[in-house]
Structures are given as structure tokens and as C-alpha cells.
Amino acid sequence: MSPSRPPVLLHIGLHKTGTRFLQREVFAQLDPERYRYNPEPLASALRQAVRHPGDAACAARLREAVAAWRGSGDGRTLVLSEPHISGDMYSSHCDYAENLALMRELFPEARVLFFVRKQADWLQSAYRQHLAKGKPVPIEVFLNFYDGAFRPRVARQVYGARNVEALTLRFLAIYRAYAEAFGEAAVYLLRQEDLRARPEAVKALVAHALGQRALPEPPRRRGHNRSYSALAIHLFHPTVLRRYPPPGPAAARGRRIPQRLNDALAPLRRLRRALIQHAFDRVLYYDWDLLARHGMREQIEAHYAAENAELERIAHRQLARVGEGEPASAQGA
């Protein structure tokens, strides 16, 4: 890392992989004398640029913000956490390469923190997030599963709801591209499964990426909202029980709610979300695997078996290097 430049840590996602833990319990607790975490206006410019890859105006504003930060003479470690850097989660992160090129241009000295998760669990979590804000459709529609098979999506929205392709996720491709661009030693691959099973080892690796011997003590643990339980989904979103045929052109257009009506219904949706998260699910959290139907989980796990084995191998190799006592970089000395 160049001594003339302050250190940079980029947390690039993925969504649904412990982002709240990192942002609230790690990055927000860093010593402000040594770290700048998502400073404005840089963080806002970054958010807009990576959410609109290819938008020249957004990229220009980000370049200006980065130039202003570099020109400020601030020598603290810059920590930027924005999961959209890895791409649009509803489009299988197909735009990750455009954002990677911009990150490599602006932060060539960066260390990169990249969290992944088993694809089946990630897809189910993405579906539950969609229900919190989008039109409730069955998980089969969200994943484009019809007549016993996963299909390519025909549009960004079908039956008026967002949807994803279950079998085109790019978790390993994103890691490999960042490792090639920044160097393997600068890219930290972690898995949410390890955060649950081996939390101390994962925290040690995050500390290593930050140039610290250990992470700061988190605040007194607050209750985190769990994703919607399966029971709550069926009770509060009964339309998820409907059957839908494979979508054609008409389904791709969907029935769009007039904007005025949509705005009028927004408070009711927020009320329903609050009722589920802060009342019903706190009293009775009864959950089950939404992918158990039709053998969906088995198909997803079989499709990604080799990729997951490679991701696990890479992640465990990185955990081992810290466990074996490899020192943190000079930035944390």
C-alpha cells in the first residue's frame, strides 16, 4: 500500500449477509481519531454512482467527492460500506464489473471486504425482504420457478412484482474479479455461515482487514429484527398462496397500481410491516423453509455445489491465515 495515501477499506456487500452487524457493531464503533466511516458527501455520491452504473453524471460527482477527500489531507483510514457496490441484487449482480472498474480507478490502494452466503438461503432472505416493501407474490414467482423448473426471467417485474433468476448468481465471479483487480491479499472473503458458526474467527479477520488486532467492543446488544416468519407471511400476505402460470408478455407488464393510490397505501404497508416485525413475530415466531416445496432447495444447492465448495475453501483459508498469527498490516500498528 502506498505510504503517500491514507488506507481505504471497501465493504462491497453482498446484501443480506450481515451488513447491519458490520455497519452498526463494527464500523460505527471505530475510533474516529483513526477512521472515517461513510463520510458525507462522499458516501452519498458513492451510493448514487453504484446504484446507477454507467451514469456519467453520477460517476463524475463521485470522482469529485473522492478528489475532495484526497485533497483534504485527512490521513485517517477511510471505511466505505455500500452493498450496492457488488451490483443489483435483483439482477444477479450483473453490473458488478462496471462498479468494480470505478472502484479500481478511484481506490486502487483499497482493501476489500466481501461477504457471501449459501445461495439458497440468500435467495430466501431476498424474497422475505421483497415482501417487506414490494407486491406479495409466491416465492415461486419471485424465483421464476414454474412447472418444476427454474426459468430465466422475462422482465424486471412480473405480475407487478420484482423477481430474480435463481441459477445465475455470481458470488464466486465477483470474488475472482476483485481478487484479480486488487490482488488476492487485499480481498477478504467471508461467509455468513462462518459468522454464525465461528464468530470470533470472522471478527479477527475483519479486524485484520481494518489493520487492528481486535474489533472495538460493540454497544450493549440491541434486539435485531428477524426476517418475516413463514407463518406471518402466510397470515399477512395471503396472496402468496395463489398459483401463477408461467409469465408471458401480459404478466411481464403486470397490473401497475396508479401512483396516487400507491402513495395512499404506503402508510398501511408500513403499518403492516411494523405489526409483523415488532408485534406478531416477537410474540410468535414460527418459521419453516419456504424452499422445501417442489424440491426447489435441492435444485439450487445442486446447481451451486461446486461453487460453494470453492467459496468455502477460500474463506476457510483466509480464516486460517489469521488464526496462524499472520500480522495485520502496518496501518494498524
Confidence (pLDDT) at 271: 87
- What distance in Å separates the CA atoms of residue 108 and residue 92, rounded to the nearest whole number? 25
Confidence (pLDDT) at 106: 97
Confidence (pLDDT) at 287: 92
| 134 Cβ neighbours under 8 A, 6+ residues apart | 161, 162
Least confident of 129-143, 243-257, 264-278: 243-257
Round the average pLDDT of the chain to a whole number and report it.
90
Q: State pLDDT tens for residues 96-132.
A: 999 999 999 999 999 999 999 999 999 999 999 999 8
Q: Is the per-residue pLDDT at 1 higher than 60?
A: no
Confidence (pLDDT) at 272: 87
Q: Is the per-residue pLDDT at 191 higher than 80?
A: yes
Confidence (pLDDT) at 146: 96
Please state the rounded mean pLDDT for residues 171-199: 96
Grid cell 472495538 in the structure block, residue: 216
* Percentage, residues of the chain above pLDDT 70: 90
Confidence (pLDDT) at 294: 94
- What distance in Å separates the CA atoms of residue 111 and residue 10, rounded to the nearest whole number? 6
pTM for this entry: 0.90
Neighbours of 202 (CB within 10 A): 25
Q: State pLDDT tens for residues 295-316.
A: 999 999 999 999 999 999 999 9
Confidence (pLDDT) at 223: 52
149-150 and 145-146 strand pairing = antiparallel
Q: Is the per-residue pLDDT at 333 higher than 50?
A: no
- What distance in Å separates the CA atoms of residue 252 and residue 242, rounded to the nearest whole number? 17
Q: Is the per-residue pLDDT at 221 higher than 80?
A: no
Of the pLDDT bands very low, low, confident and very high (cuts 50, 70, 90), residue 194 is very high
Of the pLDDT bands very low, low, confident and very high (cuts 50, 70, 90), residue 266 is confident
Confidence (pLDDT) at 331: 39
Bridge partners (DSSP) of residue 190 are 115
- What distance in Å separates the CA atoms of residue 46 and residue 50, rounded to the nearest whole number? 6
Q: Is the four-CA dihedral 256, 257, 262, 268 of positive or negative sign?
A: negative
Q: Are 114 and 178 in contact (CB under 8 A)?
A: yes
- What distance in Å separates the CA atoms of residue 86 and residue 89, rounded to the nearest whole number? 8
Q: Which residue has the higher pLDDT, 188 or 249?
A: 188
Q: Are 300 and 289 in contact (CB under 8 A)?
A: no
Please state the rounded mean pLDDT for residues 209-225: 77
Q: Which residue has the higher pLDDT, 133 or 205?
A: 205
Grid cell 460493540 in the structure block, residue: 218
Confidence (pLDDT) at 10: 98
Q: State pLDDT tens for residues 6-41.
A: 899 999 999 999 898 899 999 999 999 999 999 999
- What distance in Å separates the CA atoms of residue 143 and residue 275, rounded to the nearest whole number? 26
Q: Are 62 and 16 in contact (CB under 8 A)?
A: no
Q: Is the per-residue pLDDT at 142 higher than 90?
A: yes
